[in-house]
Amino acid sequence: MAENDSKSSVELATKFVQLGRARDKTETLLQSAKESAIKRHVETLKEIINEVNKLVRTIEAEKITAKENSDEIDTWIGEIEREIKRGRRENYYFRTVVERNARET
């Protein structure tokens, strides 16, 4: 951990690693067609995204308290939002697969 990294920043970085690992498992899970595993994966993605959102708000507050430039904070949030959006898209895709499978059975 770098000296100027807050605990929240380190936690956020860890959550993004977890999100990436979860995304890496996506294709394998879809190919397995195991509904219970896919449902768990949907919940995992949702949970990680929720945790990321909470950490973003915490870090934003830390940045505001530290009197960081508003434009820099907005840029940082924009970058984070792009990552979150990728996770949400994947989660939506998984949910539609689960729902489609449920209708077909």
pLDDT value at residue 22:
85
* In a domain? residue 88: yes
Its domain, for residue 46, covers: 35-104
Reported pTM: 0.75
Is residue 75 situated within a structural domain? yes
List the one residue out of 63, 86, 66 whose CA is nearest residue 74.
63
Round to whole Å and give the CA distance between 64 and 71: 11
Half-sphere exposure (CA, 13 Å, Cβ side) for 20?
7
Q: What is the overall mean pLDDT for the chain? A: 84
Whether 57 maps to a domain, the answer reads yes
Residue written as tokens 């792009």? 82
For residue 36 the two structure tokens come to 């219970």
Q: Which carries the bigger pLDDT value, residue 48 or residue 32? A: 48
More confident residue, 10 or 39: 10
**Mind listing the pLDDT tens digit for each residue in 16-29?**
899 888 888 877 88
- Number of structural domains, the chain? 1
At residue 14, does pLDDT exceed 90?
yes
1 has pLDDT over 50: no
**Is 77 within a domain?**
yes
